Amino acid sequence: MATVTSKTLEGALGAKLRLNFGSTVEEATDAQMMKACALVLRDMMAIREVETKQMVRREEKRQVHYMSLEFLMGRSLMKNAYNLGLLPQLRQALENLGFRAADIFELEPDAALGNGGLGRLAACYLDSMTTLEIPATGYSICYELGLFRQKIIEGQQVELPDNWKDLGDAWLMPKPQETEEVHFGGNIREFWADGYHHVVHENYQTVLAIPCDMEIAGYETRHTNTLRLWDAKSPSPVDMSLFSQGEYLKATEAHAMAEVIAKVLYPEDKHIEGKSLRLKQQYFFVSATVQSVARRHLETYGTLKNFHEKNVFQVNDTHPALVIPELMRLLIDDAGLSWDEAWYITTHSVAYTNHTVLSEALERWPQDLIQRNLPRIWQVLVEISNRWQKKVEDFYHDSTKTEDMAIIWGGQVRMANLCIAGGMAVNGVSGLHSGILKKDLFRNAYGMEPWKFQNVTNGIDHRRWLSEINPGLDRLIRDLAGGDEYLLHPTALSRLDDYADDAEVLQRLSEIKRKNKEAFADYARRTQDVVLNPDAIFDVQVKRLHEYKRQLLNALHIITLYQQLQDDPGRSMQPQTFLFGAKAAPGYAVAKRIIHLINSLADQINHDPICKDKLQVVFLENYRVSLAEQLIPASEVSQQISTAGKEASGTGNMKFMMNGALTVGTLDGANVEMHDLLGDENMFLFGLHADEVAELKARGYLPQRLYARDPILRRALDQLKTGFRDGVSYEDLFARLVTGSNCAADEYLLLADFAAYCAAEKRMVETYANPAEWNRMSLHNIARSGMFAADRAVAEYADHIWHVGHR
Ligand code: GPV
C-alpha cells in the first residue's frame, strides 16, 4: 500500500461522499465522513479478500472456521487503517478535508457483539490469524442489538438498547447470493425404499441465513480474512395459505419467529439461559456455517470425503457444539455417507476450547427443547450418545463414570461432554485452568483419551492493545527494542529488560504514564463528567461484574481505607483513585447490588471533605472496548483478584501488564504465568492458592469466625449494613458474606483473603512511594508481556491443534 497517500485518500473520500451520500466534502457531517472512511477501507480490503480466497482455493489450503456466538470487535476504523499501514495518511486526509480525525474515530460505535473476555478473545484471534496469514473465517450472528448500553441512574444500572448498526454497518458486506436455509421444528419420516433407509425432515419452518461479511485486515500482509455474521430472515412476509384461511396472526408467526433470531445478543456472561430462542440462535448459526463450508468444499473438491483434511472448526466454548450433530446430519442425510465415515470426518474436524469451570456456565439443554425444535438433530444426538456411552462402559466398567461422561442424561443434553466425544482436541486457556480440566472437571474423559487434552494460554492483540492505543509507549519501544520489530515478533519486547537501571528510560516511562493519565482525566471529564486527580494512583478493576471476580473485596478494602481516614483525618497519605467499570447481566441481582454499593461508596467518599486529594472512587459508566482503550494506557494498578481456581485465564490482566500497570492479584488463571515471568518482586501477589481454596472448602469454611476474630474486617462488613449517606443498606450483601442467605456464606472466600489483600495493597502503595523502583517494575512488566501476544497463542493453535502453516 506504499502508493496510497493522504491525497489518494482525500480523492477516494470525496468520491464516496458524492456517490453514497450525494454530498460534497463541505456538506458532509462527521457521521457521513466516518461511513465514507469505512467504505473506502472496505473497498481496499474487499479486493484483497477476493485475492486471498482465490489463493486458498488454488493452493488447496486447509482452512480454519472459528465459530463463536460472540465477537467483541469494538471499533474498526483506526484498527483497519493501522493494519493497512494507512493510519497517518488517513489522519492527514481528514484534517486536510477540514475534519478532526480524533472526532471521526470517536464517533464510531463499538461493535459489541459479545459480552466480555470470551468475545474479545475471538476478536483478537481474528487479527492474529490474519496477520499470521492463516486462511480463517470467523462465524457468528449479525445481532441487530449488541450488548446493552449501561446508564447509572441513582447509583443503579439501567440497560438501554445498543443500536450499533446505524453507523456500524458500513463495515458489513451483505452476500445474499450465499444465503443458506435453516430448518426448525416439523417431524421426521423414515422409510425403506430402493434398498435404502430414507430419513425425511418435513413440515419444518425455514429461516433464511444471509451472510453479512466483515473483512479483517492483517498487519503488513495482503492476506485478508472474513468475519461472517449471519442475519436471519423469513422466506416470506406471511404464510399465504394460512393468511387466505383467515388465520391472520398465525400467518405472521413464522415471520416473527425467523426475524427474532438475530435480534439481540444474550447479555448473560458465564451463565446459561435455557431459553428456546438461545438454542435457535445456536443452531441457526451452526447450521448455516456448516452448510456454507460444505458447499464451498464440494465446489472445490467435488466430494466431502476429504472434508477433515481441508477444514477445521474451532468451537469457542460449547455454544456452537451443535456443529457436531449438524455435520453428521449433513454427511449422512445429504451426502449419503455411512455413520462410521461421517463420525471419522467429524471427529477429525472439530476442536473445542473450554473457557470456564463454573458449573452454572456449563451448558445443559433440556432434551424436550431439542426434540421439539431440532427433531433430526435429536436423533443424531441420541445415536452419538449411545455409542459414546458404550465406549465409556467398555473402557471403565464403572457406572459413576458412565454417568459423569454421558452426553444425554436425566433429560438433559450436556454440551461439554458432546464436544469432548465429537472433537479431536479439548483445550483450556491457561496452564492452571487446563490442569483443572484434566484433574477435575473432565478427569474421566482425560483418563480415557489423554491425547485430546491440551493447553493454549490466551493472548491479546498487542498491536491494538499496545501500539495503537498507547502511542507514547509504542515510541519508547521502537527506540529501545529494535524499531517496529516487536509488532510481528512480540518477544522483542524483552529487550526492554536491559534498561532496568537506565534512569533516563525509567523517567521517560513515567512521563508517558503521566501523559496518559492526564489524557484519560480529560476524556473522563468530557464523557463521564468526573474530575480525576492525576497525582493519585490510578487503581483499576474493569471487567464484567461477577461474584467470583470479587469487586466486592476491592470495595471492602476501600471501606477500610476510608474508616482509617475517618479515625485520623489529618493523616498524610499517597492519594489513590479507585476506578471501577463493569456491566452486570440484567438478571443477576447480586451483581447489580454490588454496582449500587460501589456507587454509594463513591458518593460517600467523593462528598466527604476529609477524602479530598486522598481518596477517590469512580464507577465508570458503560465499560466497553473503546473505554478500555482509553483507560488501560493510563492505569497504574491492575486488580486481578478472583478466587483462585475460578478465572479460567483472564485477558484484561495481560492488557494492563503490557501497558506497564502493576498487578495486585491472586494466583489464578494466567496470573500464574505472569508470576512465572515476573517473580514475586514484580507484582503484588496475595491470597489462597487454588489447592488451598479446595482444601479450605473441603474442611468446612466458616466466614463467621473471621468476622468474629478480625476487628478491621468486621468494621468494614458492618458498614455494609449501615450503608452510606444515600441511606441505602447493603444488609443483603452482608448476609451473603457472613451469615449466608439460602446459600453457603461467602462462596468466593472474600473474608479468607481480606487481610492478605489489604497487606498487598499496602505493599503496593509503599512501592509507589519509590518511583525508580515502581518504574523499574513497570518496565519489567512490559518487557515480559510478549508471551501474552495473541500471535503466540494463535501459532500454538495452528501448530498443535489445527495443523495449518503460518508465517
Ligand atoms: I464460558 N469467559 C467469558 O468471558 N464468557 C463466558 O461465557 C465464558 C468464559 C471468559 C473467562 O471467564 C476468562 O477467564 C477468559 O480469559 C476468557 O473467557 C477468554 O478465554
Just give the CATH number of 60-75+110-458+795-802.
3.40.50.2000
Query: 462-788, which class in CATH?
Result: alpha beta
Which atom number of ligand 1 is nearest to the Cα of residue 433?
Answer: 14
Helix (H, G, I), strand (E, B) or coil at 652: helix
* Cα separation, 409 vs 386, whole angstroms: 11
H or E segment and range at residue 618: strand 615-620
Distance 317 CA to ligand 1 centre (A): 9
List Cβ neighbours of 70 (8 Å cut-off, separation of 6 or more): 113, 114, 115, 118, 119, 122, 140, 265, 316, 319
Which atom number of ligand 1 is nearest to the Cα of residue 317?
Answer: 1
Q: How far, in Å, are 52, 93, 229, 291, 454 from residue 790 at the CA level?
A: 22, 31, 22, 29, 17
- Residue 269 pLDDT: 83
Q: Which residues have a catalytic role annotated?
A: 355, 543-544, 549, 651, 655
Helix (H, G, I), strand (E, B) or coil at 24: coil
Rounded to 5°, the CA angle 489-493-497 comes to 150
- Residue 743 pLDDT: 80
Residue with grid cell 461474584, as numbered in its chain = 547
- Residue 478 pLDDT: 98
Report residues whose beta carbon is within 6 angstroms of any ligand 1 atom. 115-118, 121, 269-270, 317, 355-356, 361, 429, 458, 647-651, 669
Please compute, for residue 606, the number of CA atoms within 13 A of its CA located in the half-sphere on the CB side.
18
Distance 776 CA to ligand 1 centre (A): 31
Say if CB 328 and CB 346 are below 8 A apart: yes
Enter the C-alpha cell of residue 734.
452482608
Residue with grid cell 461493535, as numbered in its chain = 111
Q: How far, in Å, are 354, 748, 752 from residue 271 at the CA level?
A: 14, 16, 25
Distance 648 CA to ligand 1 centre (A): 7
Distance 115 CA to ligand 1 centre (A): 9
- Residue 1 pLDDT: 47
Determine if the pTM surpasses 0.80.
yes
Which atom number of ligand 1 is nearest to the Cα of residue 429?
Answer: 20
Helix (H, G, I), strand (E, B) or coil at 791: helix
Candidates 316, 352, 356, 359: which one to mutate for ligand 1, based on the most atoms within 8 Å of Cβ?
A: 356
Q: Where are the domains of the chain?
A: 60-75+110-458+795-802, 462-788
- Residue 270 pLDDT: 77
Dihedral angle of Cα 699, 700, 704, 707, to the nearest 10 degrees: 30
Residue located nearest, by CA, to atom 2 of ligand 1? 118
Candidates 69, 72, 115, 118: which one to mutate for ligand 1, based on the most atoms within 8 Å of Cβ?
A: 118
Say if CB 625 and CB 120 are below 8 A apart: yes
497 DSSP 8-state letter: G
Which atom number of ligand 1 is nearest to the Cα of residue 651?
Answer: 16
Distance 616 CA to ligand 1 centre (A): 30
pLDDT along the chain (807 residues), means of 10: 86 97 97 98 98 98 98 98 97 98 97 98 98 98 98 98 95 98 97 91 97 98 98 86 75 86 93 90 98 98 98 98 99 97 98 96 96 98 98 98 98 98 98 98 98 98 98 98 97 98 98 98 97 98 98 99 98 96 98 98 98 98 98 99 98 99 99 98 98 97 97 98 98 96 90 98 98 98 98 98 98
Distance 652 CA to ligand 1 centre (A): 11
For the chain, how far is it from start to end, CA to CA, in angstroms?
20
Backbone angles phi, psi at 710, to 5 degrees: -105, 105
Residue located nearest, by CA, to atom 13 of ligand 1? 650
Alpha helices in 306-374 (DSSP H): 307-310, 323-329, 339-346, 367-373
- Residue 2 pLDDT: 52
Candidates 355, 426, 457, 550: which one to mutate for ligand 1, based on the most atoms within 8 Å of Cβ?
A: 355
